[in-house]
Structure 1
């Protein structure tokens, strides 16, 4: 039985955090997510150089999101409910990203890992 009071941080993933092997490496267990999307964003690929991140994800190419000029654009992904310890593990893994809040298609506000150099969405 899950303790919902412990899993109360919303994190939206459009990339490698959706992979079962990455979840087990970071959180010690697979994590179920709910499909959602970030409206007004588009996705591009970036090259990761951190050997630990590459080892966990199995690839040096990871997706990155950025605001789009086209309001019809949206990035699909999964919404996770995580513990503070899970978020700390994810923060340590997402070395080339910064965690910030966005509004999802569902209307919920969640954290994402995005471009360090991009302005925060309005």
Structure 2
């Protein structure tokens, strides 16, 4: 299968995965995306536990999305179309988060990394956010 024929998945990024040095280290290439937003979430600080991630990003504190319960809360970011293998590479980079599938402000479904302790008691992997 040609590289251009591989099925793609959507990944919403609001943080360091938008940085060129992180994309090169994680995906082996620069990834272009389109603007979108995640509603019903707020950003908070997240101390990074993996020294390799700190080395890659150059930052020991990243931001992490957490559900707020307020639909007017909005996190701006970018949606990337990446391969399943690249999504797995992103999982290895995002060691202090969990991957969830959400509905973005545009109506598109995408994966996003959110805080491990989302706090609402619901299953964040199956949570749709409008």
Q: TM class by shorter-chain length?
A: over 0.9
Aligned to 1:39: 39
Q: Is 1:7–1:81's contact at 8 Å kept on the other side of the alignment?
A: no
Which deviates more, 95-104 or 67-76?
67-76
TM-score (norm: length of structure 1): 0.92
Which has the larger displacement, 85-94 or 5-14?
A: 5-14
Give the CA deviation at 1:69: 3.1
Residue 86 of structure 1 aligns to a residue whose secondary structure is helix
1:83 corresponds to: 83
Q: Secondary structure at the match of 1:90?
A: helix
Give yes or no for the alignment of 1:65 onto 2:96: no
Q: CA deviation at 1:7?
A: 4.9
Task: In structure 2, list runs of 5 or more residues that go unmatched.
Answer: none
Partner Cα separation in structure 2 for residue 62 and residue 38 of structure 1: 17
Q: How large is the RMSD of aligned CA atoms in angstroms?
A: 1.3
Which residue is 2:97 aligned to? 97
Give the ranges of 4+ consecutive aligned residues of structure 1 lying more than 6 Å apart after TM superposition: none
Determine the structure 1 residue equivalent to 2:30: 30
Q: Normalising by structure 2, report the TM-score.
A: 0.87
Alignment coverage as a number of residue pairs:
120
- Per the TM alignment, residue 68 of structure 1 is displaced from its structure 2 partner at its CA by 1.4
Task: Identify unmatched segments of 5+ residues in structure 1.
Answer: none
State the Cα distance separating 1:70 from its structure 2 match.
2.5
Deviation of 1:67 after TM superposition, in Å, equals 1.2
Aligned to 2:10: 10
